[in-house]
Amino acid sequence: MNDLETPLNIKHMREQLDALGLSFSWEREITTCLPEYYKWTQYLFINLFEAGLVYQKEAMVNWDPVDQTVLANEQVDENGCSWRSGAKVEQKYLRQWFIKTTVYAKVNGQETGEKLAAYTYTPEAIYGASHLYVLPNHRLLHGNSSLREVLQSEFIPGKDCLTSVTAVNLLTRQEVPIVISAKSDFENYIDTKIGIPNTNPEDAAVAQNLGLSFSEVIETLPDGLETIVNSGERYWGTPIPIIHCQTCGTIPVPYEDLPVELPNITSFTGKGASPLETVPEWMNCSCPRCKGPAKRETDTMDTFVDSSWYYLRYTDPHNSDRPFNKALADYWMPVDLYIGGKEHAVMHLYYARFLSHFCYDQKMTKHKEPFYKLLVQGLIKSQTYKLTTTSQYLKREEIDLTGTEPVHIKTKEKLQVTWEKMSKSKHNGIDPEELVEQYGIDTMRLYILFAAPPEQDILWDAKTDAVPGVRRWQSRLWSLATKLIEARTSSIVPNPQLLNEKEKAEAKKIWEQKNLVVSEQASQPLILHSAEFEDALATLCIMVAPMAPHIASELWKGLAHVQNKLCTYHKWDDDVLHQSWPKVDPEYLQQPDIIEMSVLINNKACGKVSMPRQVARNAEEVHELILQSELGIKHLQGRPIKKAFLSPRTALINFLVQE
């Protein structure tokens, strides 16, 4: 919290974001580790305390004996070692603070009252549940459940789908997310089961892939036997604004005395459960009520508490009288689209929703739910190197990569090499400045956007040929614009009537498919005299601009200076980022509704099948129609189909079949 490097890191990262051409409203920037922000986190904590929603009790925690600190479950690896020091984590009891989140035990923000009977082979390990697993044919998706519409919209066939819906375990009072299974059936004809990673490898794989957190409930004893253990968390970060008085008991810090700031701690010996206990001049204080001797709470909140309400502070970031103005929060909230990584799916969103519901109950906002829609993006992963003996992550300078296998420079020990989310603690981050310097800003933006759908992970490998491929695409786009500019700067005045019948047919094809990359093989007369070519190229620049604004702006400026334009409906005097988003031409929508779908088998054309235009956009329907067609019966019947790739915009489907 008092880390002097934090402001420098913020400044450095802001410069990187600006260099990448990312646009933010920097006047609304907030810094959660500054007193002017966490003063209001403490204010909300006191409100929670006075509402009876936070309490203290003894509970088991993960203790790092080397760093002398408490670890959350997510900070303990699969071998029971600390993510930072690599030391074997110990279990110990400590008195800590808890938030009574079950008071808002809702499913998708509604108390639906629905109850599900769920199965598990190991009910004794119920405290280690990570998710509730339902089949795609479950009644929640197809019955009269009030959640049907939400779950159906989040379901993707053949994939484990983490939904925004949660359920409360009536035995433990824990809230866990509902996951729609990729499977079509479970064992013993059940359709709902509890995922417990500690006791089921399949559940562990699902939890890992979806980034779900869970409690470690199985401990192996020295004699090899296993025992059930309870696990709890303890959090650190913002000072908890509580004072303990022997006479008055546990009381909150008066609002006018906020914020309670952290003292400057120059060194910490590890004695005691909290570094704050080593600063008696900070810890010892007077009771606000009886004025007698008292002590400050030395426990602190985890940073997730600060981040559980930042979206509300964004609506009114400079307010010094309250966390935010209700009118502003009511105007801006809820957030239209929340984009977050898998690691945010449970911990952050869980508490963000909790705080939002609490603020609603406190009449601070008129909206219960903080987010309209959630997009769980994939992770950008990079290779990590760990010592097998201690599970400690190594920095690049500690690794010898010259041999056939990476080894530790000092000990020559062979290393565990895995793909993991980029993280400072795992020493596998990539500096964007180096990549921008090597490839250019737009190339990197396009690569990240084109490498995979947003919900899938990207394995970042500098040796891949994907980046050069993106650069070649940019070169083709540049070449197209250059050809038009050169053609129009000649002495010949463009005239669409000078095109022959073949060129007019090509112009119509460009008009029909102007949302696609314009063909580089367009003839010189077509480039010179075709309004369709000019419009398609302008449209392409407009659609590329959000992803690659620099090259799009350069191309647009070049096109804007071209004389004798055939398309007068674009705002050529304005920048490309100020253009209206392209719309489908009305004439295009009035075309016949039947199209010819080209069919390829193992990349070889074998004919066409007629079908309705709307059907041509649905992969499953196209697949079925072709299998039932004369062409499908002749060429595909009885042949195992490994995969089918549909391109709706080019009306083409390619079947990969086993020879």
CA–CA separation, 440 and 467 (whole Å): 11
pLDDT for residue 1: 40
- In a shared domain, residues 115 and 158: yes
Q: Which of these, 8, 95, 1, 89, lies nearest to 42 by C-alpha position?
A: 1
CA–CA separation, 81 and 85 (whole Å): 8
pLDDT for residue 562: 87
Assign residue 223 the CATH number of its domain: 3.90.740.10
What's the N-to-C CA distance of the chain in angstroms? 63
CA–CA separation, 31 and 235 (whole Å): 19
CA–CA separation, 241 and 35 (whole Å): 13
Task: Please enumerate in sequence order all residues whose Cβ is within 8 A of that of 514, keeping only pairs 6 or more positions apart, or say none.
Answer: 532, 535, 536, 539, 540, 582
- In a shared domain, residues 511 and 571: yes
In three state form, how does the secondary structure of 256-290 look?
Answer: HHCCCCCCCCCCCCCCCCCHHHHCHHHHEEECCCC
Phi (first) and psi of residue 30, to 5 degrees: -125, 150
- In a shared domain, residues 385 and 417: yes
Beta-bridged to residue 502, according to DSSP, are none
Q: Which of these, 222, 205, 225, 155, lies nearest to 184 by C-alpha position?
A: 155
Q: Is 622 domain-assigned? A: yes
- In a shared domain, residues 573 and 599: no
Number of structural domains found in the chain: 4
Provide Rg for the chain, Cα atoms.
Answer: 30
What percentage of the chain's residues is helix, strand, coil (to nearest 5)? 35, 20, 45
pLDDT for residue 170: 59
Q: Is 91 domain-assigned? A: no
Q: Is 246 domain-assigned? A: no
Which of 578, 607, 626 represents a domain boundary (last residue)?
Answer: 578
CA–CA separation, 347 and 302 (whole Å): 11
Q: Are strands 380-387 and 218-220 parallel, antiparallel or unpaired?
A: unpaired
- In a shared domain, residues 559 and 617: no
- In a shared domain, residues 500 and 544: yes
CA–CA separation, 323 and 46 (whole Å): 13
- In a shared domain, residues 491 and 599: no
pLDDT for residue 324: 97
- In a shared domain, residues 407 and 478: no
CA–CA separation, 450 and 469 (whole Å): 11
Q: Is 521 domain-assigned? A: yes
In the sheet that 458-459 helps form, which strands lie side by side, from edge to edge?
A: 415-421, 380-387, 458-459
Residue 519: CB atoms within 10 A of its CB come to 15
Assign residue 639 the CATH number of its domain: 3.10.20.590
**Alpha-carbon 73 to chain mean position:** 20
In the sheet that 131-134 helps form, which strands lie side by side, from edge to edge?
A: 161-168, 175-180, 131-134, 192-195
Q: Is 327 domain-assigned? A: no
H-state helical runs in 456-512: 466-488, 501-512
Which of 176, 200, 227 represents a domain boundary (last residue)?
Answer: 227
Q: Is 283 domain-assigned? A: no
Q: Which of these, 80, 16, 110, lies nearest to 434 by C-alpha position?
A: 16
pLDDT for residue 220: 64
- In a shared domain, residues 472 and 400: no
Q: Is 100 domain-assigned? A: no
- In a shared domain, residues 486 and 409: no
- In a shared domain, residues 131 and 202: yes
Task: Please enumerate in sequence order all residues whose Cβ is within 8 A of that of 481, keeping only pairs 6 or more positions apart, or say none.
Answer: 537, 541, 555, 558, 559
Q: Which domain holds residue 502?
A: 465-578
- In a shared domain, residues 158 and 215: yes
Contact 439, 471 (CB under 8 A): yes
Interior/surface letters 224-243, b for 16+ CB within 10 angstroms, e for the rest: eeeeeeebbbbbbbbbbbbb
Intervals of the chain under pLDDT 70: 1-5, 72-75, 78, 83-84, 104-115, 117, 121-124, 144, 169-173, 187-189, 219-233, 235-237, 265-275, 341-347, 462-465, 512-522, 588-592
Residue 280 burial (C-beta neighbours within 10 Å; 0-12, 13-18, 19+): exposed
Q: Is 348 domain-assigned? A: no
Structure tokens given for 412: 């020559």
Instruction: Give me the residue label for tokens 């490309």.
Output: 576
**Alpha-carbon 211 to chain mean position:** 10
CA–CA separation, 443 and 551 (whole Å): 9
State which H helix or E strand residue 156 sits in.
Answer: none
Torsion of CA 176, 181, 187, 188, to 10 degrees: 70
